[in-house]
């Protein structure tokens, strides 16, 4: 197949969306498909400048004008970057804006599959990220803009059951949908597969003889690492030798350093910085704890399971789907830090229970969240969209874990 992938996340962006489409493109090419990736980086410089001028002019109208200019400008950039002469079989847009731009650019002659990577309704997500006044004109525009785009989405691919449930009410009645969870190379993450760790990622050498709690992600409010600092403060009294390692960079770094210092946790919580090779970190950890408050289908939880590291996660979005075999590992967001600290102390003190948790998680994830399953499900929906295969049966209703809020 001749496949076009579009995204508003440019190469090098610190984004799970970028990681997803780069992995997907490589896997599709390995199977013999021709894949073109288009982002705003593919735009001719003079076109980018012209769109920028238009955006600034519209921005003179105030906050509403700035949001209108940005949203329309992003869609226009993708529209102008697409080569209309290419005989594409299918487009897979990694967001609804570039999906709409592709439909317009290719005049609806090529089916456009939109993959839902967002953690909330995409308009609401923008409002929250930018802290826009919810009743202001800019916030109202964002929600209505994304409702407009979703109503024009004919093929929707969710990376979690959560994403499909969230999106379904906004899609047209005749939209076709499917689910293809994020997937990783299970074999590549297996202990020993990645070779010896570097000095920077050898946690056992950095913290000899100490149990290690690990968290990986952008240091930001949504990822909620300050909650894990509070857990570490409680854990210090229950398991004094334990160390909590936070991997990542971001806007909350200074706040987290101040919080760690204020509670005297310099020996208990370590900010390790940003690292791309996470397998070695996960191999060395005793437990991975995911504290994000809003999520879709977090790659890092799957990577932890593939690495043989038992995982716990606050209930958010599609996280409970990844831990469905171990409902005790999905924790309500209202869980007090002391309660999680007690659970972690029990796990650290009982290697057999920890191993059983890891084994059940891995057995459930091994075929469901492997990259082969992701590619197979994605290609099946591409073929459905292009008419090369019969329609897939609608996704089965999935019973939510007891800890997941309704």
pLDDT digit string, tens, across residues 211-261: 999 999 999 999 999 999 999 999 999 999 999 999 999 999 999 999 999
CA distances from 363 to 192, 356, 373, 379 (A): 19, 11, 15, 24
Whole-angstrom distance between the N-terminal and C-terminal Cα of the chain? Answer: 40
pLDDT at 399: 43
pLDDT at 401: 39
pTM over 0.75: yes
When pLDDT is cut at 50, 70 and 90, the band that residue 405 belongs to is very low
Residues 322-344: tens digit of each pLDDT: 999 999 999 999 999 999 999 99
pLDDT at 331: 97
When pLDDT is cut at 50, 70 and 90, the band that residue 192 belongs to is confident
C-alpha–C-alpha distance, residues 187 and 303, integer Å? 11
Residues 274-314: tens digit of each pLDDT: 988 899 999 999 999 999 999 999 999 999 999 999 999 99
C-alpha–C-alpha distance, residues 239 and 363, integer Å? 29
- 12 vs 307 pLDDT, higher one: 307
Average pLDDT over residues 9-20: 86
Residues 116-160: tens digit of each pLDDT: 999 999 999 999 988 999 999 999 999 999 999 999 999 999 999
Whether the Cβ atoms of residue 120 and residue 128 lie closer than 8 Å to each other: yes
CA distances from 332 to 291, 292, 402 (A): 10, 12, 10
Whether the Cβ atoms of residue 159 and residue 277 lie closer than 8 Å to each other: no
Domains of the chain: 2-183+370-386 (3.40.50.2000), 186-368 (3.40.50.2000)
Residues 251-262: tens digit of each pLDDT: 999 999 999 999
C-alpha–C-alpha distance, residues 225 and 315, integer Å? 15
When pLDDT is cut at 50, 70 and 90, the band that residue 402 belongs to is very low
For 289, list phi and psi in degrees, rounded to 5.
-125, 120
């Amino acid at each position: 197949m001749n496949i076009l992938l579009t995204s508003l996340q440019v190469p090098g962006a610190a984004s799970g969306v970028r990681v997803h489409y780069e992995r997907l493109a490589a896997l599709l090419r390995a199977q013999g498909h021709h894949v073109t990736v288009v982002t705003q980086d593919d735009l001719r410089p003079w076109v980018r400048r012209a769109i920028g001028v238009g955006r600034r002019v519209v921005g003179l109208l105030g906050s509403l004008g700035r949001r209108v200019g940005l949203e329309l400008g992003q869609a226009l950039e993708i529209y102008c970057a697409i080569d209309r002469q290419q005989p594409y079989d299918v487009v897979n847009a990694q967001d609804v804006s570039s999906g709409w731009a592709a439909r317009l650019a290719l005049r609806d002659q090529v089916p456009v599959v939109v993959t839902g990577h967002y953690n909330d309704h995409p308009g609401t997500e923008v409002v929250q990220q930018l802290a826009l006044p919810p009743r202001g004109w800019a916030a109202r525009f964002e929600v209505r803009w994304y409702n407009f785009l979703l109503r024009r989405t004919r093929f929707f691919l969710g990376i979690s059951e959560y994403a499909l449930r969230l999106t379904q009410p906004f899609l047209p009645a005749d939209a076709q949908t499917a689910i293809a969870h994020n997937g990783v190379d299970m074999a590549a993450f297996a202990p020993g597969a990645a070779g010896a760790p570097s000095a920077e990622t050898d946690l056992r050498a950095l913290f000899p003889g100490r149990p290690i709690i690990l968290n990986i992600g952008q240091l930001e409010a949504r990822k909620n690492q300050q909650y894990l600092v509070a857990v570490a403060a409680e854990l210090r009294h229950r398991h004094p030798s334990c160390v909590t390692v936070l991997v990542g960079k971001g806007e909350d770094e200074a706040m987290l350093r101040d919080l760690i210092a204020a509670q005297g946790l310099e020996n208990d919580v370590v900010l390790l910085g940003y690292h791309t090779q996470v397998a070695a970190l996960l191999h060395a950890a005793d437990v991975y704890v995911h504290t994000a408050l809003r999520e879709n289908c977090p790659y890092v939880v799957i990577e932890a399971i593939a690495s043989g590291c038992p995982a716990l996660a606050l209930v958010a979005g599609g996280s409970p789907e990844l831990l469905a075999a171990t409902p005790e590992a999905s924790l309500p967001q209202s869980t007090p830090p002391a309660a999680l600290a007690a659970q972690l102390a029990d796990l650290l003190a009982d290697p057999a229970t920890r191993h059983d948790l890891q084994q059940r998680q891995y057995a459930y994830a091994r075929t469901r969240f492997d990259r082969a399953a992701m590619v197979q499900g994605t290609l099946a929906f591409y073929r459905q969209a292009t008419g090369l295969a019969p329609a897939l049966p609608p996704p089965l209703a999935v019973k939510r874990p007891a800890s997941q809020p309704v």
